[in-house]
Amino acid sequence: MWLGLRDSVTHSPPFQVGRRRLPFQASLATPVTMAPRQRPREGVAEQATRQEARDAPPPQQTQPLAQDTHSGIVPPPPPPPPQAAQGLDLTRFLEGMAQFVAQHRDAPVPQGGTGKPDPDIARAWLDAVERTFRSMECVPKERVLLASYQLQAQALTWWSSEWETTFQSRPLRQILWQEFVVSFERAFCPTYIRTERLYLFLDLQQRDSTVVQYRARFVELGRYAPQIMVDESLRNQQFVRGLRPELRQALIVAHVTDLDAAYQTSAALEANTLRTRARSAEPRQQQSSVQATLKATTSYASTSVGTTAKSGYQRKF
């Protein structure tokens, strides 16, 4: 019996696990495919940022900062060197200062305290200073500093008092150039003198001077009549009114309304008139020269005949 049982166990088919799959084994054996995860759509800004990142040059390799071997602390970087522009401004200022002193070493400086101020000298000094400022491209904040350096004698005394009282000892670079000019003209070009120059400008006439000389005087006195000089129509009328009658009439007929055109036209008419007078004077000069020659010849002949008759010399033919 035991033998038969053993034989039945021995000859029974072995248990094969791989033949029959359990439910959980079937689910594990079946491959599962998952859909790829989609990225959210990028906006225009994200696309532009990504494109700039791709187009940007690769970052430069920088050397690592040296560390302290004992503490391991990285020292701060050294400060940047001073900018070159500041050095250039200082150099230009020093060069301009030297140029200014060289040009105005012998320039007439308003002295003041001479009884009656001379506005022409004061105005000429201001014009020379401003012309130098333009030529050396002086920055506005340096103008008062340079101009006050050139004042001498009574003018220097005036500026010392003016700087302490009117400007309350402010730094010179904080004083505007126009403020300096107003104080300067108030001291060296008083109101009554400017009024006199204004009347001279209004009564200015060409008379015997040339058009070039008349225009120069017109511009010189015109600075005392700014209300007229800034208006093109009034300035032209004042210039034409002071010309000689023949030139003034020609410009009125030509309807010239511009000062430069009036100056050019009147100068051309004056030059043409002078040439015409010179040509008309040439025949009279030649006639006078011929008459003088004939008179001298006749006088010489009369003198020769009288001398011969006195000597008793008779010429035989």
**Pairwise CA distance, residues 142 & 174, whole Å:** 9
pTM: 0.50
CA angle 111, 117, 122 (to 5 degrees): 60
Task: Please choose, from the candidates 69, 84, 129, 126, the residue with its C-alpha nearest in 3D space to the C-alpha of residue 103.
Answer: 129
The mean pLDDT values, 10 residues at a time, for the chain of 317 residues are 46 50 50 56 58 63 53 61 44 55 51 57 87 87 89 88 92 92 88 90 95 95 91 94 94 91 94 86 64 61 54 50
Asked if 178 and 95 sit in the same domain, the reply is: yes
pLDDT of residue 56: 61
Q: Which of 145, 160, 189 is the last residue of a domain?
A: 189
Number of structural domains in the chain = 2
Task: Please choose, from the candidates 198, 96, 201, 191, the residue with its C-alpha nearest in 3D space to the C-alpha of residue 149.
Answer: 96
pLDDT of residue 96: 56
pLDDT of residue 2: 44
Tokens 């010309």 correspond to: 243
Asked if 171 and 231 sit in the same domain, the reply is: no
Give domain status of residue 146, yes or no: yes
* 294: its two tokens: 């004939």
Q: Which of 125, 160, 189 is the last residue of a domain?
A: 189
pLDDT of residue 88: 39
Residue 165 lies in domain: 91-189
Give domain status of residue 32, yes or no: no
Residue 82 main-chain phi, psi, to 5 deg: -65, 145
pLDDT of residue 179: 93
Give domain status of residue 42, yes or no: no
Q: Exposed, middle or buried, 132 (CB in 10 Å: 0-12/13-18/19+)?
A: buried
pLDDT of residue 221: 92
pLDDT of residue 300: 54
Q: What is the CATH number of the domain that holds 257?
A: 1.10.1200
